[in-house]
Structure 1
């Protein structure tokens, strides 16, 4: 009886894990944890949250210092993405800390960070670890006396109207953003040693970062286009991160506000914030620009089976199918820059793959006259798209002793020299023996 009770208690202990493991693919596939400084942000930024919910994301709102916060359970992550709308949070609740958030990203999951003038050291550290450094002056804001939004407050040039977007349809969508984006917040710069971070919304050449309430005694350290307003990161494991220096950028007030950029007579009934952030969030959450490769095949020309090894100078064919996620289904990916390497220490063969524009990429080539262990290798990196990294080892052997040609054409001069020597010796012998 006691033994049965122990078994029952063990099953009950692991029941939540079992339920989670069976339902994680469907129920938590698109779960997002939103950490807030205050639950008022849930209503003041509701338009942004509703845009995510309308696309099928399940948002779970919690205060940043909630002791019940947890990113994973029983070794499994509970969420696919994390949104940090808690710029003042110094400490997070439960077992969550800066290291846990960085591990969350390292596991291939996505992250949105919004900061402001009250950004805590924890938020700054997370951004720094991902290649973005916020201005060290806690009172500094981005100021622009040329590209500001005209407002009722005369001389307030911290409300910026920026339209310096990254030129990439895969990141911001194919539809042009007609209105500038309203931004009011702090500046950050990109770490030049980090090649994975990219500006999405840049400041104008006339902008600078300083305390708007004090006079400048020294030239500002951050100026011009070196300032980034919104940046993105695509990690090597294809995790995606959005870093913004303004929490109000995502707010309903900026979404609905009309604006007029200084020096322009055009009045926009609505800012470009909503279109900009909705399209950018589609990229962040892998609804666009996500690639997968399937059905990788290689074989000798004229045969269908994949061999365990090749011989030097064999003719072979290679093919792979590549698809892009459209947000609802996998569609054929069409490009003309996918390359295959036949690699051993360095590429011996480099071929650009042909495509039928239905997802199939293929090529054919001759195995080089070098034997060893080679790799079929594709390393596809393109701005805005997830990285495709495919490799498969294959041995290449030399000719066997009975596979060489009987007479090698390149050796004909040597054959001729040998036979001419024999013929000359025979003639010389005859002449020497029978001449007087």
Structure 2
């Protein structure tokens, strides 16, 4: 009986360890276990369509109140979740061990994040955004107003319900199916920090929009106006962690998903807004169901050979090969592009070659080793909008010709050969004439 108890405890410990070490996998890069923090558990019902779509795609959602004292992102040095959704815009302080530093550390470890704010966004949410290059309007009473592109409704209102349709043109971010209907947006706008090159606007306001308090008259020009206002933005960190910032929590709500929409000044009336399609597509991107690349079978060899050498000689003809695949959400598919380049690098690129593809994931580049010896690197630095970046490096030395590898007679030296032999002949003739002439 004692042995059975020990075995049971051992199995339970192993199960706990496996649960704790569940994390981002290169074999299946899609996030699976996601922590959802909300201000009110009623959001599970009011935003159920969005959450159900995630669960239908295989995600495990763990809902907690944002002030829950038991919140923790990691335990025993292992992360408990692959992704984090913050649908708690009014939270002034998270519960447990969670704070701004913990969230940034979560992202720095390669995990993903969705943050939704609204008109009552707290300083905590604003600080998280600022750390990621997102600057919400400093006026905490300001929301986005648009008298030109508002959503037509039975009550005229203050034009804070916007019908936005200025999407980023990127299939990897928003899918290949075009979003026809405008997206309903009600919330706050933000600008992008120009010093941060990793931030992109996914949904922008129209040129007639501005950020202000709708309940008071403007006494000075608004700090944010026109197309410079971003409604939804994304960040892809250098470690390939992904973040989505939305200025509207209602954008993900059932009400906005199901609402008909008609943009002011347009005769087109849609029975359903584009919110559900937009939210679904952007969630596929942020949780690595799309746009995640991996490189395998990186190799190189001399032309006509198959074995990888330990050293090259100057002027050798070589081939560099790599296979690149993209995750489709369920399997790895060949990645097809015409802009993958390889560098043969020593202090600076001596060779920069665009690789050709067989449209089945294999990329090949052939070139001649430069007439310079030293320690080189094969380098592939691939960065494309919306895709995870690839950084490959492989070191290889290059030697000069050995003394017995040179040609016996070098064609370029024929003039010197001729000069030597002609000098010898002239000296022989001069000696003969000098010795035997009277």
The TM-score range, normalised by the shorter chain, is: over 0.9
- Where does 1:100-139 land on structure 2 (aligned, <5 Å)? 100-139=102-141
2:20–2:79 CA contact under 8 A, matched in 1: no
Aligned counterpart, 2:52: 50
**What's the offset of the Cα at 1:222?**
0.7
Aligned residues between the structures: 430
Aligned to 1:351: 353
Partner of 2:17: 18
1:12 is displaced (CA, Å) by 9.6
CA distance in 2, matches of 1:120, 1:22: 33
Distance 1:352 1:108, change over 3 A: same
Offset at 1:14? 5.7
Q: Secondary structure at the residue paired with 2:283?
A: helix
Instruction: Give 1:308's aligned residue.
Output: 310
Alpha-carbon distance in 2 for matches of 1:23, 1:267: 46
Mapping of 1:133-212 within 5 angstroms? 133-212=135-214
Match of 2:70 in 1: 68
SS in 2 for 1:47: helix
State the superposition RMSD in angstroms: 2.0
Question: Structure 1 regions of 5+ residues with no counterpart?
Answer: none
Query: Alpha-carbon deviation of 1:17?
Result: 4.6
CA change 1:238–1:143 in 2 (3 A) is same
Q: Name 2:400's counterpart in structure 1.
A: 398
- Alpha-carbon offset, residue 398 of structure 1: 1.3
| 8 Å Cα contact 1:311/1:396 also seen in 2 | yes
1:375 aligns with 2:374: no
Moved more, 405-414 or 161-170: 405-414
1:15 Cα deviation from its structure 2 partner: 5.2
Taking structure 2 as the reference length, the TM-score comes to 0.94
Map Cα deviations across residues 295-351 of structure 1 (whole Å, 9 max, x no partner).
111111222111111111111111111111111111111111111101111111111
State the match for 1:221 in structure 2: 223
Deviation at 1:108, TM superposition (A): 0.8
Q: List runs of 5+ in structure 2 lacking aligned partners.
A: none
Counterparts of 1:57 and 1:210, CA distance in 2: 38
Contact 1:17–1:74 (Cα < 8 Å) also in 2: no
Deviations 1:64-103 (A, max 9, x none): 1101111011111111100000001111111111000001
The CA distance in 2 between the partners of 1:289 and 1:29, in whole Å, is 13
Q: Of residues 419, 423, 433 in structure 2, which corresponds to 1:431?
A: 433
1:218-367 equivalence runs, <5 A? 218-367=220-369
**Contact conserved, 2:345 with 2:378, CA < 8 A, in 1?**
yes
TM-score between both structures, scaled by the size of structure 1: 0.95
- Specify the SS of the correspondent of 2:375: strand
Q: CA deviation at 1:432?
A: 2.0
Deviation at 1:431, TM superposition (A): 2.0
Partner of 1:82: 84
